Structure 1
Amino acid sequence: MVLFSAASILLVLAMSSIVEANTCPKECSCDGRKLTVTCVGKNLTEVPQTIDEITLKLDLRNNNLQELPKGAFSLTPYLTHLTLQRCNILRVKEGAFRSLGRLVSLNLAYNKIDVLYQESFDGLSALKELQLDHNRVEEIRPGAFTQLGFLNMLALTHNQLVYIPNMAFQGLQNIKWLRLSRNSLNNLAPEAFTGLFTLSRLSLDHNELQFFHTQTMSRLPEVTRLDMSHNPMTYLGEESVSMVKLTHLYLDHMSLQDLSDQALSRAPLLSHLDLSHNQLRYLEPLKGPYELKSLNLTGNPLYCNCFMRPLREWARVRNVKLLGACVGPPHLSQEPLQSVAPLDLRCRSRGEVLKEEFELEPTESAPPHSEAQTEREVSGELRLRC
């Protein structure tokens, strides 16, 4: 009886090997234990039809599929992970993924997709991660994501988006991170992000946004991290940022020349603000973000005179860490802002300020001034020059 059982087991194993050998496409390698199929760099023009039905992970990177037809994966309904990077895919037809109700990860990066249609992702009801980086997406049709109710992360970086229309991401009821970096975005519709009640992280860096879209961003009640760096903004006005749960805001490598002292007054939980590598020469103490712990001013042309004293004193009282260094006057050049004592931030004569700060020679020697009078006059000069 024992011998018969052992023989039966050996027979079953042998038959399984034969079945695996018969179902594994000749261009691919298959692992029956892990239920994975790998067909990388085989110049395939269509999805192999002999893949085992119970396959869980399918890797089709570096092929030449060009178009995904309806029912392209109907023979592999149990897939949980599908990789289609670098397959020269131009279009995903309606119903291409309709049978993949168990798929949790789909990678379509480095293809040539230009439009996301309403039916493109039908059937992916369990999907949690969708990567569309490095495509040519320039348009998101209404309802493109309505079937992706469980999606946590959507990556659309390195595409050609110029505008995000109203309700573009409707249906993403569990989204946590939306990545729109490195597009050509110059405008966002007021309702572009409406419905994203679970979104906690938004990346909009490396785009062409020239102002902060206050109305659009206020529709994001749960966002804690917002990256707007590398956009050509020059000014942030009063109450520009109205995001009640925001804790980290990145506005570095922009063109900011001025910032209202109340620009962040409606972001009460903000704790980290990055304003590095802008064009700020002065900054008023900020009103509103009472949880602020770190203010990064590295790479700004900060002129450390009496006009910076209120900010330095504010940071000391609030225990805010200031990052950055002075570019002038000469005796404070390269001095870390955090280590400069408020009393060292003073204004000298009107002629000296104009000479050192604006590199202009005084036309006549100015009589001695009191510090208060000097501050008033220099302030008037700055307003005239602005």
Structure 2
Amino acid sequence: MLGCSLWGSAPPTPTGEKRGAGWLEPLLLLLVVVLSGWVLAQQTADCPGTCDCSEAARTVKCINRNLTEVPVGLPRYVRNLFLMGNHIQNVSSASFPPETLLELSSLNLSGNRLQWVEAGTFAGLPSLKQLDLSDNALLELSPMALGNTSSPLEELNLRNSLYNNSYVTAVAQLLQQEAFLNLKRLDLSENTLLYLPQGMFAALHSLQHLDLHNNSLVSLHGVTLENLRQLQSVNLSGNALKRLRNSTLLQLRGLPQLTSLNLTHNAWVCDCGIEDMVSWLKESDLVEAKSSLKCSYPKGMENRSLVAIDFSELSCPEPTDNQTQLQTSYVFLGIVLALIGAIFLLVLYLNRKGIKKWMYNIRDACRDHMEGYHYRYEINADPRLTNLSSNSDV
């Protein structure tokens, strides 16, 4: 009767079947509860204690936890790993072991006082597309950090990441590797770079966005841009550029996808050497806010808009002045050297007798010395004089 009241109008079944059906449902419910608890325990165990993990968002955050190394035991499902604001100074292949984080696509290591990135550090991350190393002080950045094969990396952020501007050569060597064939966005801003090594970007055929703002670049001479056929935007604001040479303007004209070029806040020198650049500015639509580009030098042209310049106002420094000054310096140096030589010869002439006597004395001393050696040799060579040589001095 109890079974009938519980199951309502279910058709009558044999007693054995009724008892089996009554035990099956609670058993399944208990099994589901146990499995759920086991899965929850596994998820909790896979998340390091210093991190916050979300399997639904495929995200692990270990932010401002005073970590000195990359946590071990990261869950395999992680796609976005945030390690900002810690004290991780060194990363290597041991930090991201192969076959452990196969789905990791975004890695943020900014603000870590990071100094060393060793060879093969990110080679075990086959899905890595975004890498942020900004706000660090890199002393060593291995050219083989991503391995020696093509990487899926699309975005690299090195903003304010170099210990000083001399480490740009290490960055250039890194970017020239085959691993960066898929790179689309590169941020090198705020690194006080004075120059860019020749061919630094030549291998970045997929690059679309290049950010170089707030550096100290004086010139783009030797910078190769003609291979960047996919380049869409370049930010050169906040540098120390004086003018863009014809070779650079020619490369910019040849980039079919380029639609945005930021040249604001540079120290433009408005003399006759800037005429070609001004002509290009007037006819080009690439430059953002080109009417805000102002002259910094020479005196009398300050704060004049480049696109509003009349070429008749531009003057050129006379090269003859510098050449004349250089020739004058050479003549003065020649006169000084001739005077020193004349004084030296005069001293020799006035002391000719004493110098002659001194040379004779040196000659006589050398002759006496050589005669003494000759006499010693004769004694040693004659057996009859052996005893004599042992008891006498030359």
TM-score range, shorter chain: 0.5 to 0.7
- Residue 141 of structure 2 is aligned to residue 134 of structure 1: no
Residue 107 of structure 1 is matched in structure 2 by: 132
Q: Which residue is 2:330 aligned to? A: none
User: Which of 177, 197, 201 is the matching residue for 2:205?
Assistant: 197
* Distance 1:185-1:113 versus aligned 2 partners, 3 A rule: closer
Partner of 2:329: none
CA distance in 2, matches of 1:8, 1:125: 44
Q: What is the alpha-carbon distance in structure 2 between the residues aligned to residue 188 and residue 120 of structure 1? A: 21
Q: SS of the residue aligned with 1:7?
A: helix
* AA at the equivalent of 1:88: R
- Aligned position for 1:263: 277
- Using a 3 Å threshold, how does the CA distance of structure 1 residues 137 and 77 change in structure 2: closer, same or farther? farther
Could you give the per-residue CA deviations for residues 4-61 of structure 1, whole angstroms, max 9, x where no partner exists? 4333222211111222233332323333433433322222223333333333333332
Conservation of the 8 A alpha-carbon contact between 1:47 and 1:65: yes
Residue 174 in 1 paired to residue 188 in 2? no
Alignment check: 8 A CA contact 2:83 2:109 kept: yes
**Alpha carbons 1:281, 1:303 under 8 Å: kept:** no
| 1:98 matches 2:123 | yes
User: Does structure 1 residue 19 correspond to structure 2 residue 42?
Assistant: yes
| 1:249 equivalent among 245, 261, 280 | 261
| 2:138/2:162 contact within 8 Å kept | yes
C-alpha offsets along residues 97-139 of structure 1, whole Å, 9 cap, x if unaligned?
A: 3322122333222222222212222288333323232222558
Higher share in helix: 2
- Aligned to 1:161, what secondary structure does the other structure show? helix
One-letter code of the match for 1:64? H
The letter of the residue matching 2:145 is S
Q: Say whether the 8 Å CA contact 1:202–1:225 is kept in structure 2.
A: yes
Q: Which amino acid aligns with 1:181?
A: S
Q: Which moved more, 1:215-224 or 1:245-254?
A: 215-224
- Taking the aligned partners of 1:300 and 1:59, their CA distance within structure 2 comes to 45
Distance verdict in 2 for CA 1:58–1:266, change over 3 Å: same
**Which secondary structure state, in structure 2, belongs to the residue aligned with residue 216 of structure 1?**
coil
Q: Distance in 2 between matches of 1:44 and 1:135?
A: 19
- 5 Å-filtered alignment, 1:116-155, equals 116-122=141-147, 125-137=151-163
Q: Is the 8 A contact 1:247 1:270 kept in 2?
A: no
Name the CA distance, whole Å, in 1 between partners of 2:229 and 2:235. 16
CA contact (8 A) 1:167 1:195 kept: no
Change (3 A) 1:89 1:268: same
| AA at the equivalent of 1:129 | E
Tell me, yes or no, if structure 1 residue 278 matches structure 2 residue 294.
yes
**How far apart in 1 are the matches of 2:207 and 2:141?**
21
Structure 1 residue identity aligned to 2:151: S
The percentage of counterpart residues that share the same residue type is 25
Give the whole-Å Cα distance in 1 for the aligned partners of 2:206 and 2:236.
Answer: 19
What amino acid does structure 2 have at the position aligned with 1:270? Answer: S
CA distance in 1, matches of 2:304, 2:197: 34
CA contact (8 A) 2:278 2:307 kept: no
Q: Distance in 2 between matches of 1:121 and 1:280?
A: 43
TM-score (norm 2): 0.58
Structure label with greater radius of gyration: 2
Say whether 1:300 aligns with 2:307.
no
How far residue 237 of structure 1 moved from its aligned partner, in angstroms, is: 4.8
Distance in structure 1 (CA, Å) of the matches to 2:70 and 2:195: 38
**Superposed CA offset, 1:188-222 (max 9, x none):** 34422213333233333333333342763344344
Aligned counterpart, 2:241: 233
CA separation in 2, counterparts of 1:281 and 1:48?
A: 54
Asked if the contact 1:69–1:93 (Cα under 8 Å) also holds between the matched residues in 2, the reply is: yes
Moved more, 269-278 or 187-196: 269-278
The structure 1 residue matched to 2:95, chosen from 61, 72, 89, is 72
Whole-Å separation in 1 of the counterparts to 2:169 and 2:59: 39
Distance 1:101 1:163 in 2: 23
1:203-214 → structure 2 map (5 Å cutoff) = 203-213=211-221
Unaligned runs of 5+ in 2: 1-23, 319-394
- 1:174 and 1:263 map into 2 onto residues whose CA distance is 32
Separation in 2, partners of 1:5, 1:78? 34
- Output one character per residue of 1:261-285: Cα deviation in whole Å (capped at 9) or x when no partner: 5437789993143252421899xxx
Q: Does the C-alpha gap of structure 1 residues 124 and 34 become closer, same or farther in structure 2, counting only changes over 3 Å?
A: farther
Query: Number of aligned pairs?
Result: 280
CA deviation vs aligned residue, 1:158-210 (integer Å, no higher than 9, x gap): x9638975884343223333322223333334422213333233333333333
